[in-house]
Amino acid sequence: MLTPVRGSGRPATGQSDRRRLVPALAVALATVIGAALRIDVAVQDFFGDELSSYWIISKHGLGDVLSTVHSDAEISPPLSFVAGWVASKASLDPEVVRLPSLIAGVATIPLVYLVGKRTVGRGPAAVAATVTALAPFMVYYSAEARGYALMMAFVTLSTLAMLLAVDEGRARWWVLYGLASCAAVYTHYSCVLVLGAQFVWLLWAHPQARRPALITNVAAALLYLPWITGFLADLDSPTTDILEALQPFDGYHARLALTHWSFGYPYSTVAPLRDLPGDVGLALLALGAVVALGGVAVTRLRGRERPPLPMPGRRLALPFVLALATPVGGALAAAAGSSSLFGTRNFAPSWPGLALASAAVLALAGPRTRAVAAALVVAAFAISAVKVTQERFSRPDYGGAAAYVDDQAGARDVVIDGSAVRSPGPLSHLDAALREQHPIVRLEQPQQRDHPFNVGDPVVQPPEAVRRAAALARGARVLVVTDEGQLRRLPPIPGYRQTARRDFPGFYDVVVLTYERPAS
């Protein structure tokens, strides 16, 4: 058995039962609320890059899932796809395919608390866990069929196991630390920045643990070797160039990325900060920050009234190291010429650290001050949590549009599908939701459905799309599935007139138009 590392700053044991019980109950309540929020969002339709996950999971056996992800068609590691494939054996409904993310997102809430107990103290740890339960960023990715929630859970578990290992010196915690770190990298590459920063902190803060730490990380690296060829293929993927073009590294985009990661909605284009958290939420956050920082300043100036640190300084530094790892690492990579890591969703592995670092600031303020500041911050995130479940911030309702098309379209009626996006997979949003077969013409996207989109694939422009649809319909009806922006670019269908319109709301509305030939 390894020798425990002494002086690691474990929480004091002289607290009353009440002081132990209240934070634990608060975290239990936060976990229940967080689970309810995530389940509510998880039933929404697939969106964006989830179409790639859905295509890989629904159209392939397990071996083909691994080979497809191994190629440059998808630039993420395989673990989340394997987990999604297993879940999909029960159903291909969105909430079932998202089940691995859902479970991981809920589990991250108490994991943050357990890490916080060993870094910032019980009370601030409970605040961090509560904010994790309510944060729009965490709710969204806990209900997405991609690897971010699973990766965040593994990173947080890795941190917890590392702290337990240095506190107790037991081999089982070192094994869990290595396995969780390896699993995180098998889920998403961006976690390497946090795991690397965490490892450097471990070598600095606990020199007695350097030998087992090195052995554990070497073993984790060896476990990752089978995927090295897939990682090299992903580095050479054209998708990386597309991502860099979509997220340039400049002051404006950096501000958007950091604020929407910290307390906003992941997509700034559909939910700017003035909408979520909104003016009241932003004011509460600002006031909470002023109260907390003011409390820290006052306790420092009045040295005789300064409360003791909840943990030794090196232990208290860990949340800040974790929080800064991806923004700083991504900025350095962007300055070197690769901006693909500097983006809102790629900051995901640092989010638990951000919650704990914010709570650490509270821990350094006076008891009354930190209670007021925590209440203000939690209230701001609670406002955001309520808004996330509203229709205005829901993913587009392609399921409702598809059900309408299935119900209304006859065997000869043609559908113009404007719901495709350049996701790595070849499916459109409508493809993933339709239950019936229909003649379909894609609008402003390539037509294939059997292999991922390529940069050079021909795109059907609106005039050509309506001509193709009219010719294919041969007098039958034409239904158009689109959105308001695309609708403005759609020319009239020759020989047809619009007879019906249905709107399906979300963070942008899906519109279904029905066109028929005039009666002769």
Residue 354 has pLDDT above 90, yes or no: yes
Q: What is the pLDDT of residues 295-311, one digit of tens each?
A: 888 877 776 445 555 56
Can you give the pLDDT at residue 5?
45
- Pair 85, 65: CB distance under 8 Å: yes
Q: What is the pLDDT of residues 364-412, one digit of tens each?
A: 887 889 999 999 999 999 999 999 999 999 999 999 999 999 999 999 9
Burial state string for 87-124 with b = 16 or more CB within 10 A and e = fewer than 16: bbeeeeebbbbbbbbbbbbbbbbbbbbbbbbbbbbbbb
Give backbone dihedrals phi and psi of 55, rounded to 5 degrees, phi first.
-65, -45
Of the listed ranges 41-50, 214-223, 283-292, 420-429, the least confidently predicted one is 420-429
More confident residue, 285 or 520: 285
Residue 15 has pLDDT above 60, yes or no: no
Residue spans of the domains in the chain: they are 17-393, 398-516
- Pair 26, 126: CB distance under 8 Å: yes
The amino acid at residue 444 is E
Q: What is the pLDDT of residues 18-36, one digit of tens each?
A: 778 999 999 999 999 999 9
Can you give the pLDDT at residue 364?
82
Can you give the pLDDT at residue 308?
54
Question: Mapped to the 3 state alphabet, what secondary structure does 353-403 carry?
Answer: HHHHHHHHHHHCCCHHHHHHHHHHHHHHHHHHHHHHCCHHHCCCCHHHHHH
Q: Average pLDDT in the 170-197 region?
A: 97
Residue 520 has pLDDT above 80, yes or no: no
Can you give the pLDDT at residue 2?
45
Look up residue 226 and give its DSSP letter.
G
More confident residue, 435 or 313: 435
Q: Strand pairing of 497-504 and 510-516?
A: antiparallel
Residue 199 has pLDDT above 80, yes or no: yes
Residue 246 has pLDDT above 70, yes or no: no
Q: What is the pLDDT of residues 52-76, one digit of tens each?
A: 999 999 999 999 999 999 987 788 9
**In the numeric block, which tokens belong to residue 463?**
């005039």
Can you give the pLDDT at residue 11?
47
Rg of the chain on CA atoms, in Å: 25
SS3 417: strand
**Percent of the chain residues past pLDDT 70, beyond the cut:** 92
SS3 467: helix
Whether the upstream peptide bond of residue 463 has omega within 30° of 0, thus cis, is no
**In the numeric block, which tokens belong to residue 363?**
């821990």
- Pair 142, 151: CB distance under 8 Å: no
The amino acid at residue 8 is S
pTM for the whole structure: 0.92
Residue 455 has pLDDT above 70, yes or no: no
Contacts of 13 (CB under 8 A, 6+ apart): none
Residue 51 has pLDDT above 80, yes or no: yes
Can you give the pLDDT at residue 348?
98
Q: Average pLDDT in the 343-350 region?
A: 95
Distance CA 76, CA 226 (A): 15
Distance CA 179, CA 158 (A): 8
Say how far residue 349 (Cα) sits from the centre of its chain.
9
| Opening angle at CA 455, ends 449 and 458, nearest 5 | 60
Of 354, 355, 328, the residue nearest 342 (C-alpha): 328
Q: Average pLDDT in the 46-54 region?
A: 94
